[in-house]
Each structure stands twice: as C-alpha cells, then as structure tokens.
Amino acid sequence: MKFLKMAAIILGLFVAFILVAAFAMDTEYSVERSIIVDRPTPVVFEHIRYLRNQDDFSVWGTMDPNMQQEYRGTDGTVGAVSVWDGNEDVGKGEQEIVRIEDNKRIDFELRFIEPFEGVADAYFITDSMSENETRVTWGFESNMPRPMNLMLLFINMEELIGSDLDSGLTKLKDTLESD
C-alpha cells in the first residue's frame, strides 16, 4: 500500500512537471536558409513560383518516387494547389500559394494530413544582389500545440528541416545555373 501511494505521488509529480514544462516552452518554431544563385532575380522568381518546378529541387519530392501528385488551379498563381500522397517519409498533404509579390516573395500554406495533421507556412524571398545574382531565402514556420511542443526538446527542427532546405536550395542553384 505504501509503495502504491509513493508511485502515485511520483506519477503525479511527473505529470505536473510535464504540464508546467509544456506551458513554459514556446510552441512556435521557424527555420530559414538562403543561397546566392548566379541568375537575375526575374529568372529565378519565374522558376520558383511554379509548384511543379519545386518537384525538381525539393528534397521531399524525391523521397518517394511513386508519390502521387495532383495540381489544382493555375500553377504559379494565388490559389494554385499541389496535392501529394506518398509513403511514410512523405505522408499526405497539400500546398497552396496564398500570396505572390512579383520578383520578391511567394507565401504558401502547407496542410499536412498524414501521418500527422498540421498547418505550416512556407515562403520564398528573392533579393537582387546584383544584375545577375539573386539571394533566394526559403523559410518554414509552424507550431506544435501543447503538450506536443515537448517534442521540440528532443527534435532539433533547425537541423532537421534546415538540412532539407539547404539541399533543396543547392539543387535549385545547380538547376538554374546550368541553363
């Protein structure tokens, strides 16, 4: 009986600690990476504005060669949607273009369906560094509701997503500079 009482107290303290930690921790996270592409901004922007072109450089698009994709709307315009359904590495979801500022910025809403439901914001920003150089910034912002935000203690989103963004940007640079 004494053991059960002690186990209940320890369990209660553990649960209380988890709840306090969940409320003390931030729920939001963001990751951003940039690269310089040796091409004029209009050329770079014209390439990245199309959802179909992202398949050429996005790491996530290459994780499942059998991934099913569908496109709705007019690609490269606000309201265009890319829908994917892939293996466990890619999951199921959709990406919609929600805002375009020509030659400057494209904003997307990512809606994840499987394996976990969630919504995230992503964007591309292009900055003209010179007549023939463009800095491309690819960013990702999201949040984890409490108490799921405790996973941020164990998962380094900066490293996890950042390496994928770096790989994608390098592939984008190679593609655009080889034309």
* Three-class DSSP labels, the chain: CHHHHHHHHHHHHHHHHHHHHHHHCCCEEEEEEEEEECCCHHHHHHHHCCHHHHHHHCHHHHCCCCCEEEEECCCCCCCCEEEEECCCCCCEEEEEEEEEECCCEEEEEEEEEECCCEEEEEEEEEEEEECCEEEEEEEEEEECCCCHHHHHHCCCHHHHHHHHHHHHHHHHHHHHHHC
* pLDDT of the residue at 153: 59
Decide which of 47 and 10 is more confident: 47
In a domain, 21, yes or no: no
* pLDDT surpasses 90 at 24: no
Computed over every residue of the chain, the mean pLDDT equals 86
Higher per-residue confidence, 158 vs 172:
172
Least confident of 35-39, 66-70, 103-107: 66-70
The total number of structural domains in the chain stands at 1
Is 10 part of a structural domain of the chain? no
Q: What is the mean pLDDT of residues 172-176?
A: 95
Q: What is the pLDDT of residue 32?
A: 94
CATH of the domain at 166: 3.30.530.20
What is the pLDDT averaged over residues 46-63? 90
Asked if the structure places residue 14 within a domain, the reply is no
Q: How confident is the model at residue 1 (pLDDT cuts 50, 70, 90)?
A: confident
Mean pLDDT of 116-127: 92
Residue 12 pLDDT exceeds 80:
no
For residue 70, being part of any structural domain is answered with: yes
**Residue 20 predicted with pLDDT over 90:** no
pLDDT at 26: 64
This prediction's pTM = 0.80
Domain that holds residue 83: 27-178
Q: Which residue has the higher pLDDT, 59 or 72?
A: 72
Whether residue 121 is contained in a domain is answered as: yes
What is the rounded average pLDDT of the residues 22-48? 85
Asked if residue 13 belongs to a domain, the reply is no
